[in-house]
Amino acid sequence: MQDHIFIGGGGEGYAEAQKLLLNYTNRHGLIAGATGTGKTVTLQILAEGLSAAGVPVFLSDVKGDLSGLAASGREDFKLHEAFTKRAATIGLDLQYDKFPVTFWDLYGEQGHPVRTTVSEMGPLLLSRLLELTDVQEGVLNVAFRVADEEGLPLLDLKDLQALLLFVGENAKDLSLRYGNVAVSSVGAIQRQLLVLENQGGNELFGEPALELSDMIRCEADGRGVVNLLAADKLMNSPRLYATFLLWLLSELFEELPEVGNPEKPKLVFFFDEAHLLFDDAPKALVDKVEQVARLIRSKGVGVFFITQNPADVPDDVLGQLGNRVQHALRAFTARDQKDLQKAAETYRPNPRFDTAEAIREVGTGEAVTSMLDHKGIPMIVERTLIRPPSSQLGPITPQERAAIMAMSPMSGKYDKRLDRDSAFEMLARRADAAAKEAEEAEARAAREEEAEREFKQARRYDGGRAPSATTRSRRTKEPESLGGALADAFVKEMKGTTGRRIIRGIFGTIFKSR
């Protein structure tokens, strides 16, 4: 087995082979260049070489062209003569071939559905995906902590929405435990989730979740599987695209065991349109990308960033990329010229040419390259003719794609969505139980109130028992006859001033008669 991948010819007359060493492929790499300079073909020939060496590959198909990896090139292709001529120039025995491809698609239209759960995505990446503020991200972290403590699995978007509703309803109690939980922040997160759902983001979350082992595998003939993510529609939601790929990198970093420095990588990950990952990214996210890039190589994973300008990648990340293929950069403005000069300064100079001029002048299918040598040191920069691909240049037909998907081992495994018991169902049962209990308590209170009202208003039969003191006192005040009524009136009259005069008069008459 070869220990390298042939990339093209460099040096005088392009006769010097330029190689990517397999044991240094996990030192990561960069493919850069302006639109139309040949980045896609470079990506395609690297995927071919890795697959042939028994290394699984993951790459996103932004324009739909890379599906041609699943079909063999043909001699009746319009560029066959040009390919043959180039192969002769660089010393390549061109043999057309196809490669084992598994198609994936977040929307399940052009490939097998690929999903993850809300819990696996985590609050940091979700905050990036939802474009949350620091305060809102804090509330989302509280929600995840509540889910852990309450035993509420977060699988899909409706689970998270139900959990946030629970957090909002209990914001006062939760604020005492975790700090301020503003209901307005909960509402803002819910609105962002609605936007994500309208963009089709709910297709990303759910079960069955992707098993990484289904990507890191080889065919029976020893060739690595090329995992191709359909990204032409996904690019309409660039934040979703970047977040998903970063999540996949993070999962690889967390799940794969340490392997040290293997003879060849376990997987090579190509991150196309890498600038989408770093545009307006918070420092915490950039730090996470740098950490993954720095440490994931010990897991046997190589990462290649593909972008138009090396300046799109932060310096801390760019410093981790040992293997570089730089296609032409256009320098029409002062800023372009500055970026061009900066890109040239990152290469070991070649006394035969000026690096900055070479980057500006190389044509389509040609690049300035620098790979790591057998000691892991970047080689001097070379102008390189990139080898022609063995597979078909351009997309396959929808019918061919459907046939490949039907024969794939992944067919039927991820196609049907599962919806097991999770936070949404658990919280719904809690709400139903609480509502039922409240209804029963209200009914009991109503019955008790009605019974008390009836007791106060009803005339109760005493059953022949002696009247109570209250009853006796009440009855003594009631007149029993006409005489009694007159006596009561007389007594009442005697209590007044006139009554007192009459009494004095009566007593005075009695004493005089004696």
Side chain identity at residue 121, one-letter code: M
Please count the other Cβ atoms lying within 10 Å of the Cβ belonging to residue 239: 18
Taking phi first (over 0 means left), then psi (-120 to 50 degrees means alpha), and beta for anything else, what does residue 273 get? Answer: left
Residue 157 has phi, psi (to 5 degrees) of -65, -35
Region 186-205: mean pLDDT is 90
Question: Looking at residue 493, what is its pLDDT?
Answer: 57
Spatial separation of the C-alpha atoms in residues 317 and 289, rounded to whole Å: 7
pLDDT at 510 over 60: no
Q: What's residue 10's pLDDT?
A: 93
The pLDDT of residue 494 is 57
Would the pLDDT of 225 be above 90? yes
Over residues 110-126, the mean pLDDT reads: 93
Find the mean pLDDT for residues 249-275.
90
The token duo for 166 is 């629970």
Q: What is the mean pLDDT of residues 343-368?
A: 92
What is the average pLDDT score of the chain? 87
| Percent of the chain residues topping a pLDDT of 90 | 58
Which pLDDT belongs to residue 385? 96
Rg (Cα) of the chain, in Å, rounded?
Answer: 41
pLDDT one-digit tens code per residue, 391-411: 999 999 999 999 999 999 999
Closest CA to 303 of 244, 343, 249: 249
Q: How far apart are CA 190 and CA 199, in angstroms?
A: 14
Give first-to-last CA distance, the chain, whole Å: 156
Query: Please, are residues 387 and 87 in contact by the beta-carbon 8 Å criterion?
Result: yes
Average pLDDT over residues 225-241: 90
Average pLDDT over residues 11-35: 93
User: Can you read off the two tokens belonging to residue 219?
Assistant: 């065919």
Structure tokens at 32: 């850069």
Q: pLDDT-based confidence at 465, cuts 50/70/90? A: low
Q: Is the peptide bond before 208 cis (omega within 30 degrees of 0)?
A: yes
Going by their DSSP bridges, the two strands 366-370 and 382-386 should be labelled as antiparallel
Q: Please, which residues bridge with residue 21 across strands?
A: 4
Name the band, by pLDDT with cuts 50, 70 and 90, for residue 501: low
Rounded Cα–Cα distance for residues 222 and 227 (Å): 15
The answer to whether 319 and 46 are in contact (CB under 8 A) is: no
| pLDDT for res 29 | 95
Helix (H) or strand (E) holding 19: strand 16-21
Mean per-residue pLDDT, 196-222: 91
Tens digit of pLDDT for each residue in 127-151? Answer: 988 989 999 999 999 999 999 999 9
Confidence check: pLDDT of 461 > 90: no
Q: 418 phi and psi, to 5 degrees? A: -105, 150
Rounded to two decimals, the pTM is 0.82
